[in-house]
Structure 1
């Protein structure tokens, strides 16, 4: 009986509470939508200089926000009102409104609205000459937008920072730098008003720097945007600024015409606001007074009805709560000890889970560090193995010795591939891979990849066909290293499973606009193929098509997993079409920023490129300096080069290398990185101070934690990671020697 009574009371309380809350929530939602429409209309009126219309809508939104006690809408209304007062140069009233908005936003934790208000306050402080405080509020807004990665609003921060620099110390060049930053952030934005404002202030800065043609271009862009969206104030200011430019250029007729256009529109805006103000004043004591009285009575009646409902519900709830509390007191008392024991057990489990999480994170970090260290340490002895094997193979071994040496060479290359794949996978799993944005030629990049893979294809008796769409732009912006890594894994995979067959690499343009081009990549072969049931699992770590394929071709099953992760990093995905015994086709799409259009004219077509590696003849009699502290590595590198009739010299460290280069002429330098004394990077920086032409190639064991960009920024022309395949070693050396001869 007690349980039944308790259930009935719970149902009763839930029913009344739900009905009341549902009705209240529905009313608040409808009012909130109305407020949002009023605020949107108010902002639109401000941009068109319809100030009286904007004030009406803001007054209504403030009243409605107070009626439902909605502090966020009330704060936003005050923030927009402050912007209006800023445009009207009523800075004291604007300060009062924006401070009220900021106070409410800090109270409610509305960070996005708070950042918007910070920018409005900074603009007001700028006009009041309080530049230090203005900078502080711009920085506060910037911190919030950076945490939310809001590029458009970061652009507004940069724009207002540039305006502040003009007003504070007339630093026009610094202002233009900030305007450029703002332009980058606002490029994808549809905020037409701020783009018009940006071009207006760029014109002001360029006038002060006497860049009159650039200033005219800026202000015409501002006017174009303002006319499209009817931004009255910006059109007035833009024509006045254009008149100023023509006056400096000694073109009085044009200056007068634009000044008259500015005054005419300004009078029109003033008359529009004056007419609306008069209409409002005429009717304020008539119809509006009656309407306000009726509205006031209606609101009072609604409040009374709400009060009656609340009182009725309060009485019912009071009776129900007293009865429920009486029934529950005994139950709560009896269950108190049981709940305490459950809390202790839960706390213990939470402690155990926290400890397990920390141990797992430590284990993951230790694994990453171990892999990075051990693979790096393996490279030095492996370089000796592969280098000495190559030298022995070139010294006319017997057939029996040649067979053993080829097996040793294969094992060394297999081990190198395994090390590289583990490094790549470890780096991807540790989220240490970063995208690099740089300009490159895609056709040349792919050709370099195919040259590096040509010898492997020739050994398999496989032909590579490269078809490149000539309408693809010559200069693209993206990450060429990631693209090379993806193609090396995919093409290398096709070479591995295609014997005496064909491989087709097809690159096509899918679509293009002024800024971006979308390209399709296809790697197709007529090799072993992959069964349907294995196609989904083939991109997982350590997975291959079958046990038989693993035994026949070897490998770790990491290459395609790396490709999938890299494409995911580039916002793309890999697609596979294959049938066992009939080859495979891998396709994916990538988007690049266009920096230079293709030179080819006429209809779009593809042409098959011939892949030819440069000849080693260019190395004959060239003088190369080997900078290396390890004696075994010195000997191996020197003998490999001298076998190809290269004149070699050796420096044991960076200091000796600098002295030799100052006193002798060399055609190329092979520079180790980790050496006693000054490092290879420091040595290269010193060399570049007196010799900027000689090619310097880093010959080093690159680890996970080393940033490849650092090599190029400090003067290196290329990187050869140790150990290497001799074919790739010669290809890079020949490329830079050939490039130097053509200069």
Structure 2
């Protein structure tokens, strides 16, 4: 073996030399900000029908991405060009650029690029009349990315596939969810295409009045925003719909508009220019690809002389490997026996893991069912307690009723915490991406905890960095839950002191913002030995602390789990007797071109409900009685529907000021009943009253047509406030 080692030492410098003559792969340089601007401008021009100008912007984006060797930006550019060719109905060219992106995606880990790639494949399948495969691919795309603009385009594509399959209820739900949307980039375009989809849907189902209504809305928005293609489609649909209802003058007018759009010299020249631009860019990119291949061939030719040296070195290396193989053979025999043992152990571990997964699923389903089912009797407890307190009980009875009310609210908070953790464990929660004002969110949290702080004689102080942008993109609901738990926890353990909420901006680069948050208190503090377990479920430091201060010990567990959804973690600094500090960082996006919100102001109004007549949709008899009595306390009359079918029938036959809709009922659900009611009644406010379960989604309630959601059991003041906001406030706004 000594001679073998000497030979290896002599060959090593040659092998190193061989490695150094390989071409150096350039590292991806940071992409200039103007490339994103090119994408945004191209999207805007595409929606307006200015395809040739959009093509010019995307060609510049390709050149810049190649110059800076940014593969992700190049993938995005190819995808945008593919979508542009789809608008021109040139599927073959779309397929060409989709294939170019496929090659790059095989070499690059890029989840967003994979999502767009799958979305384009789904649209191509739909155009090829493979609708069920298209639906499957849209579902796969949705799993890969939760960007709001991307999600909205998925909804629109799904709606068009449902329409093609004549699944009209599903298509209606998707289109309605896009009629009014908060998309940052394509709000008007999405809304216009949603109205067009509804116009075609209602035309197919022979509801010509609704078809005309949506067609006119689409046409108005298309004219306002210069959406050329949408204007043509709207005129075509309106021509057919007006003809069906006998309004032939209207039909003729829209037909003339359609012919004018198609046959004008400007539009003919525009179409010709678009085709020429599309051909030019396709040919340019194909030419560039050929040049790249020729360059690669030239490099291979130049390296041919080096290949002879490489062959000699490889031959020598193979001799060394052959000699080493003999010595490795014996070691392999030992490894075979060891691997057999490891396989056995791995099988045992796999069985144990599968058992643990099944146990976790069983626990999740059990806790979800129990927490959901407990809400029905708990609604009866809290509702009846409220009604009894309203009926002037005797003083000794009042104390018992207040204790009962406190116990009911405590149990409700406990159930909510369990359900929340259960949703996170079951991966039912994902962070949203919506526009909001951070200062307003923090002020709302502080205001809601004001009474708790007052009871402990504790001040809540907000230290807010004025450099933080007024408009951010993230998930304000989950942020509110995080701060509710942290500040509520700090108040609980701080008496005659202060709780300080700090929000600071660490850095801002373009739209990317990094923020630092801290919740400090000067309360009882946490000992070092207890800090390690404080984020575990049902931990509060000690049994004595639990008995003195109460609570479930789940608040910090929820905070830790929620921050995990944002890819960040909670940190703690505390000294016993001196207070605690919980701090973390979160990355967000800023939106600087929006008008600032009206300054934050909480408005708790008192309403005069007398004269209102509502429909209560509820299958539980006790809940019917309680809800009806609570409404009667405010001089509100009501009818009762025992299930979804009765609700649809009563809503069709009567005029109600509002509908209180339970979601979980036998027969058709409250969500399905709402969809059916919205087919003939678009204006009556519908408030969902539901004990939300693990599989429920607030987005689906709103998409079905609900105006608001109140979770059972609810606080009476919240219940009355929601009725006032959704019925009385809306009525006064429409009258003014």
Q: Give the C-alpha shift of residue 621 in structure 1.
A: 4.5
Matches within 5 A, 1:216-227: none
C-alpha contact (below 8 Å) 2:470/2:596 kept by paired residues: no
The change in CA–CA distance for 1:301 and 1:407 in structure 2 (over 3 A counts) is closer
The two structures, once aligned, show a CA RMSD in angstroms of 5.5
Matches within 5 A, 1:158-173: none
Residue 195 of structure 2 aligns with which residue?
none
Residue 605 of structure 2 aligns with which residue?
614
Cα distance in 2, alignment partners of residues 503 and 594 from structure 1: 28
User: Aligned match of 2:316 in 310, 313, 317?
Assistant: 310
C-alpha contact (below 8 Å) 2:471/2:596 kept by paired residues: no
The change in CA–CA distance for 1:689 and 1:31 in structure 2 (over 3 A counts) is same
User: Aligned match of 2:418 in 422, 426, 432?
Assistant: 422
User: Aligned match of 2:665 in 656, 664, 675?
Assistant: 675
The change in CA–CA distance for 1:555 and 1:453 in structure 2 (over 3 A counts) is same
1:422-459 Cα shifts (integer Å, max 9, x gaps): 12212222322212222334444445545544554555
663-672 or 450-459, larger mean C-alpha shift: 450-459
C-alpha contact (below 8 Å) 2:515/2:585 kept by paired residues: yes
Q: Give the C-alpha shift of residue 356 in structure 1.
A: 1.9
User: Aligned match of 1:382 in 378, 382, 387?
Assistant: 378
Secondary structure of the residue aligned to 2:713 is coil
Cα distance in 1, alignment partners of residues 497 and 559 from structure 2: 23
C-alpha contact (below 8 Å) 1:542/1:556 kept by paired residues: yes
The answer on 1:412 being equivalent to 2:373 is no
Cα distance in 1, alignment partners of residues 650 and 316 from structure 2: 94
635-644 or 375-384, larger mean C-alpha shift: 635-644
User: Aligned match of 2:564 in 540, 549, 568?
Assistant: 568
Secondary structure of the residue aligned to 2:534 is helix
Secondary structure of the residue aligned to 1:671 is strand
The change in CA–CA distance for 1:463 and 1:132 in structure 2 (over 3 A counts) is same
Residue 476 of structure 1 aligns with which residue?
472
1:466-513 Cα shifts (integer Å, max 9, x gaps): 566677555433222212221222232234334465545455555556
The answer on 1:630 being equivalent to 2:623 is no
Secondary structure of the residue aligned to 1:432 is coil
Residue 390 of structure 2 aligns with which residue?
394
C-alpha contact (below 8 Å) 1:471/1:600 kept by paired residues: no
The change in CA–CA distance for 1:356 and 1:576 in structure 2 (over 3 A counts) is closer
Q: Give the C-alpha shift of residue 397 in structure 1.
A: 3.0
Cα distance in 2, alignment partners of residues 321 and 504 from structure 1: 68
Residue 110 of structure 2 aligns with which residue?
149
Question: How many residues are paired up?
Answer: 533
User: Aligned match of 1:364 in 360, 363, 378?
Assistant: 360
C-alpha contact (below 8 Å) 2:615/2:658 kept by paired residues: yes
Residue 545 of structure 2 aligns with which residue?
549
Q: Give the C-alpha shift of residue 377 in structure 1.
A: 1.5
User: Aligned match of 1:138 in 92, 95, 98?
Assistant: 98
Cα distance in 1, alignment partners of residues 503 and 323 from structure 2: 78
| TM-score of the superposed pair, with normalisation by structure 2 | 0.59
C-alpha contact (below 8 Å) 1:685/1:715 kept by paired residues: yes
Cα distance in 2, alignment partners of residues 553 and 707 from structure 1: 34
Which structure 1 residue ranges, 5 or more long, are not aligned? 1-8, 42-86, 88-110, 166-180, 186-208, 216-246, 250-254, 256-261, 267-272, 274-291
Secondary structure of the residue aligned to 2:666 is coil
C-alpha contact (below 8 Å) 1:629/1:675 kept by paired residues: yes
Secondary structure of the residue aligned to 1:32 is coil
Cα distance in 2, alignment partners of residues 141 and 433 from structure 1: 31
1:267-307 Cα shifts (integer Å, max 9, x gaps): xxxxxx9xxxxxxxxxxxxxxxxxx99x99x8699579759
Cα distance in 2, alignment partners of residues 659 and 211 from structure 1: 39
The change in CA–CA distance for 1:622 and 1:581 in structure 2 (over 3 A counts) is farther
Matches within 5 A, 1:702-721: 702-721=692-711
The change in CA–CA distance for 1:40 and 1:637 in structure 2 (over 3 A counts) is closer
Cα distance in 2, alignment partners of residues 161 and 404 from structure 1: 62
| TM-score of the superposed pair, with normalisation by structure 1 | 0.58
Q: Give the C-alpha shift of residue 685 in structure 1.
A: 1.8
Secondary structure of the residue aligned to 2:22 is helix
Secondary structure of the residue aligned to 2:568 is coil
